[in-house]
Amino acid sequence: MNVLFVCTGNTCRSPMAAAILAGRDIKDVEVRSAGVFAMPGSEASSQAREVLKEKGLPVEHQSSQVSDELIEWADYIFTMTAQHKMLLENSYPNSLGKTYTLKGFAEQSGEVMDPYGGSVETYRATFEELQNVIEAIVEKIK
């Protein structure tokens, strides 16, 4: 099963979400991330890398722009916000029926907080939020 996490720039939330799920080492689950407005080849933010390193998760990341190829590849697409979901569904008709807000799929309200420009503490809070939501979806996607 292929899981794609999507945020805005693919430097904060979606790389952390991908690292969290990949770190679970679930059999037959491949994980990628992308952004709706990414600068391809950019590293994850320094704060995101620091938090991932603290948690013992891989910090190697180069941002990717959402593409037809990634949409085709994915079985599940999880966005951080309703706006990301709407952008994908309007731009990529093939994403319909497999795109969900991450919190919506986990039957939680709200959107995943964007830590962009915040302190390492802000990134830690977003990481914890992502970890909790991903725990809630793991059983549903197995």
**Alpha-carbon span 87 to 124, nearest angstrom:** 27
Residues designated catalytic? 7, 13, 114
Which DSSP string corresponds to 84-118?
HHHHHHHH-GGGTTTEEEHHHHTT--S-----TT-
Q: Is the separation of the CB atoms in 58 and 89 below 8 Å?
A: no
**Alpha-carbon span 70 to 26, nearest angstrom:** 20
Find tokens 């979901």 and name the residue: 85
